[in-house]
Amino acid sequence: MEQGHKKILRRNRVNLVTKMDPTNMYDRLIVKGVFTKCMIDEIKRAETRRDRARELVRDLETRGNLAFPLFLECLVETGHHSLAELLQNGVPTVVLQPPTPIETARPALRPLPVSNPMDIPKQNIDSPLIYPVKMEDPFPSPSPENEATKTSRQAGRVRRDSIQTYKMDANPCGHCLIINNVEFDPESGLSHRKGSNIDCDKLERRFQALKFIVEVKSNLTQKRIKQELSALRNKDHSLYDCCVVIILSHGNEVSHNRFPGAVFGVDGLQVPVQHITNYLNGQHCPSLQGKPKLFFIQACGGGEKDTGFEISPDETGPSSFGADDEMDAIPLSSSSDSLSMSDEPDARATLPTPSDILVSYSTFPGYVSWRDTLSGSWYVEILDQILEENAATDDLVTMLMIVNNEVSQNSAKGLYKQMPGSFNFLRKLLYFQT
């Protein structure tokens, strides 16, 4: 599909997903060669009408150059006139017929003589007859017909251009636990985290808007953090589609099997991130099996400060942070001293396969995470902004990639950089309710 048509689909995705009922379009799309029956069957497997419409629009972008005008025809034929008009207004002219082939110089064609079969030996054969020959294009452009033929040859092969989405239509969608550690015990050697309440308020409002039951817990010790996670694990999540844990605290780098880093309680004792995810995995929380478990960690991954590297001026972006920036870390040299017997792994030291888990970190493992005492942390401020602007159209992983890029443009004290990242074990695309 042409890039211009892809942009039109993406720009109008919210309207298409909200208003389009693809039920009556399936057979027409197959007949017109836009999709194969196998592809339509996979789209039908989505849980809700909204999910099926989203799958169809996303898969449409992978089809050939005729897919867009043929899709417009289907919209008109199934009564979606307003949607068809909306898409048509995005281009100067919508071609609803295959484009006229480019004419090339060819020999003149002579009509074959009409004669009785018995007269064939008597035909004049002084000059050779010229027959039309179909010229093969050495670089054919993709089309729905070509791709349908290609797919039919690969019957039984698993499709790679259609990924199912998680069911996210329960209302409420699920529980969201926010742990906000601001005031640390003097004995811990950790400073108060000024500006963290701003982060907490933003995320509480944001996930309430995304249909979650939000619960905020402040200034928890290591023991209380574990108790709250245990209580969340013991809830019945069978009526919900998702679970979210957000931790705002100081952090540090520790040894790990799968998920790096640890967060501190206000008593200076830490909880490894991989233990936090362990509370909600499929083995320990059966009612969340097969459902997405999301963890957002605003804490340092260690004590190193990233000064970045030089790039061309075109790559640099605005830097709006500076004098009031603090970091959510303790000195790296004390990381081993802060490990106590109470932080040793439980009897089950390794995680089972962490399917349906995503852990988003505010910074790359081993590095500090910056927080403005007046406006909150870089990571949370931009995460909240991107969720507000893009949740209606983009999946979670796409939005986190945007967050990564935006945060990477900032500089602390005109020198230090920060790079968020995530460990993604989700099996499907995740779209929040908006």
* Active-site choice (250, 256, 284, 285): 250
* 5 is an active site residue: no
Using DSSP's 3-state secondary structure scheme, residue 278 falls into helix
In angstroms, the CA 397 to CA 390 distance is: 11
Instruction: Specify which residues 213 forms β-bridges with.
Output: 175
Token pair of 361 as six digits = 């970190």
First-to-last C-alpha distance (Å) of the chain: 29
Please indicate whether residue 284 is annotated as part of the active site. Answer: no
Q: What is the DSSP letter of 306?
A: B
Sign of CA dihedral 36, 40, 45, 51: positive
Distance, CA of 116 to CA of 254 (rounded, Å): 93
**Distance between CA atoms of residues 287 and 250, nearest Å:** 31
Closest CA to 275 of 356, 359, 215: 359
Q: Is residue 31 classed exposed, middle or buried when 0-12, 13-18 and 19+ CB atoms within 10 A define those classes?
A: exposed
413 is written with which tokens? 């004290």
**Helical ranges in 237-374 per DSSP H:** 273-278
Q: Which active-site residues does the annotation give?
A: 250, 300
